[in-house]
Chains A and B, each alone.
Chain A
C-alpha cells in the first residue's frame, strides 16, 4: 500500500485508494478500465497521474468522485477519505455524496466549453456552487462569487457574471470552472486534463493559477494529463498509469532523474528536449485491449527490454528507491536509461 513518506511540505494522508477496480459492463464485453490501482494523496500535496488515452486515469478520478454511470459500473476495492472517518467512498449514499462533493472534493474537466450549462449564465452557475454548502444572503453570495472570479483572474467580474458560457474564451471559461470548483473550499481538487484543449500560452497561465491557488489554500490536488511535461511542472509526486494499472510511482524528481519502468523511460524519451534536433522518439505499437486483457506484463508487446518471462509473469509494484519510489517491472534493477532527461524550457 502506498502511504507513508509524503513529499516535503505535505501532511497526513488525505485520500487513499486501495486496490481499486472499475469494470464497465458494455455490449462488447467487460472493460477493465481500472484494474487494481492504489495511490495516496496527502494534505497540501499535488499528485500527478500521467498516461496515454485509455489508460484509466479519467475513470479513476471519476470513480473517486462517484461520477461514473452507475448502470454499467462495477467496482471493488476502497477509496478512503480520511477526514470523514475513514469512509469508503465506494459505499457512499446519495446524501453522503452531496455533502462530500463541493465541500471536500471537487473536480474540473477537460473541455470548458461543454462543462457548463450553455443556457444559463456563468454567474448563475457559480452562485449555485457558492450556495451549495453555505447559508448566505443574496448580496453575500453575490460578493463571494465576484470575489472568486477575481481571484481566478477574470477581469470585470461583476459584469461577467451576467454573461453566458458562449461569450467566454476557452481560457477564461476554464478559470470560471476553477472558481466554481473552489467555491466551497474543497480539500481535494481533481483536475482532469484541465489544459489539454487550450492553447499553449493559456495552458501555462492556468497551470500557474492552479499552483498558486493550491499553495494559498493548502488544498491537495490530483492533476491528470497525458502530457508528462505538464505534470512535472507542478506535481510533487507522480503516478504513471498504463492499461488500467499503476506502473510506476514516486516523487517527481526521482521519476525524472531515475525512471525505473520502461514505459516511463519511453515517455521521457518521447518528450522533445531543449536544443534537440533530429527525430522525435515515439513509442511504437498501441495499448492493449481492456476487454481481452493479455497475460503477463501489459506493456510487454511494446517494451524494448522484453523477455519471455515478461509475457507470463504478473508483476507487482516493486520498491525502486527512496521516497516510496516503486515500479511494476521485475527487471527494474537491470535496465537503466540511455541519458538523463535535460528538462524542457517551457517554464
Chain B
C-alpha cells in the first residue's frame, strides 16, 4: 500500500493548481485602472518605454496571447523587469528569499514547540493550571495584531533589556537564529492559539475513545497509553490545522519583516507597492503562492504517512 498517497494524482493536481495561480497573478496586473504602462513606468515614463512595455506585455493583442507570453517568460524564469531597481524582477526577488524562508521554518518550528506540549497538557488536565493560563494567554495574543506584538517585544527585549537585536538578519546560521528569534516568536505566538485549541480538543476527544480503554485494559503503563495512543491520534487533527494556518503564517511574515526591518520578501513587497513596482509585486505574489502549494503538499504527505486511512475514503 502506498504510504504517501497516490503521488501521480497529486502531481497532476499540483500542476493544475500552479497553472491556476499563474492565471490569477497574470490577471492581477489587469486590475490596474487606467494605462498599465503609465502605472508601471511612473516617473520614468517616456513614449518609447511605454511602447516597449505595450509590446512586452502584448497589451494590444488578445488576452490569450498575453497569457501565453506571460507563461512563456515564466518558464524561462523571467518575472518581468523592475524599473525601480533597474534589474530583472527575478534577480531582485531571489535576493530577498532567504530571510523569509528562514523565518517561516523558524516560526513553524517554534509554534510546534510551544503549542504541542501546552495543547496536549491542556487536554489531559482540563481546567488545570496550564489549561486556564494557556487559554487566557493565547486569547490575548490572538487578539493582538502581529505587528503590535512585535513592537512590544522590541520594546521589552531589545531596547530595555538588550537581549536581542532590534533589526537585521545577521550572518551565519547561529547569527540568523539569534537575529530572527523575536520575529519568529512573534509569528509563532499568533499561530499557536489555533494549534493549542485544536490539539486540546483533539486530546479530549481521543481520551474518550474506546481504544484508549482497550489499551489501558492491557495493563500497560499509562505513560505509554498517552504517548502511543492518545497523542498519536490527537496529532492527526493538528497536522491539518497546522497546514491550513501556514497561509496565515506567510501573511505574518510580511508584517513582522516590516516591524523588525528584515530584508525579506515581505519588506520587498511593501516597498514595491509603494514604489508602484508592479512586476515585482506580481512576482512575489506568485512566489508566495508556490510556497503555499509546496507546504500543502508536504502537509498532505505527512498526513498520509501518519494515517493509513487517508486515501481509503473511496469505498469504505
Chain A residues within 8 Å of B, Cβ to Cβ: 62, 65, 67, 69, 71, 94, 97-103, 106-107, 109, 111, 114-120, 125, 128-129, 132-133, 164, 166, 177, 180-181, 183-184
Contacts and interface: CB of A to CB of B under 8 A. Distances in A.
Complex A-B, nearest 8 residue pairs according to Cβ-Cβ distance, in ascending order: A102-B219, A101-B219, A129-B218, A102-B218, A117-B211, A114-B210, A132-B220, A132-B218
Contacts of B10: none
B309 A99 contact: no
A133 B217 CA distance: 12
A113 to B, nearest CB: 9
Contacts of B229: 117
Interface string B218-229: 111110000011
A183 B218 contact: yes
A114 B211 contact: yes
Contacts of B312: 166
A117 B316 CA distance: 17
Nearest to A101: B219
B218 A101 contact: yes
Nearest to B316: A166
A324 B277 CA distance: 94
Contacts, number: 84
B73 interface: no
A67 B213 CA distance: 7
Interface string B197-225: 00000000000111101111111111000
A115 B233 CA distance: 14
B232 interface: yes
Contacts of A166: 308-309, 312, 316
B306 interface: yes
Given A166-B309, A166-B316, A101 B211 contact: no
A119 B306 contact: yes
B218 A119 contact: no
B241 interface: no
B30 to A, nearest CB: 47
B252 to A, nearest CB: 31
B217 A119 contact: no
A115 B211 CA distance: 4
Contacts of A180: 214, 218
Contacts of A117: 211, 215, 229, 232-233
A65 B217 CA distance: 8
Contact of A119 (B126, B216, B222, B233): B233
Given A98-B219, A181-B217, 4 more contacts: A62-B213, A98-B221, A117-B233, A128-B228
Contact of A107 (B217, B221, B236): B217
Contacts of A132: 218-220
Which of A107, A109, A117 has the most C-beta atoms of chain B within 10 angstroms of its own C-beta? A117
A114 B209 CA distance: 7
8 contacts: A106-B217, A106-B218, A107-B213, A117-B229, A118-B309, A120-B228, A125-B214, A177-B214
A94 B309 CA distance: 33
Interface string B229-240: 100110010000
A191 to B, nearest CB: 12
Contacts of A69: 208
Contacts of A71: 126
A129 B219 CA distance: 8
Contacts of A177: 214
A119 B232 contact: yes
A115 B309 contact: no
B147 to A, nearest CB: 40
A115 B216 CA distance: 11
B210 A99 contact: no
Contacts of B87: none
Contacts of A98: 219-222
A103 B214 CA distance: 14
A164 B312 CA distance: 12
A128 B217 CA distance: 11
B72 interface: no
Contacts of A120: 228, 232
A124 B223 CA distance: 17
B307 interface: yes
B213 A109 contact: yes
A106 B217 CA distance: 6
Given A114-B211, A116-B211, A119-B308, A101 B232 contact: no
A172 B220 CA distance: 24
A109 B308 CA distance: 23
Which of B216, B221, B307 has the most C-beta atoms of chain A within 10 angstroms of its own C-beta? B216
A283 B33 CA distance: 78
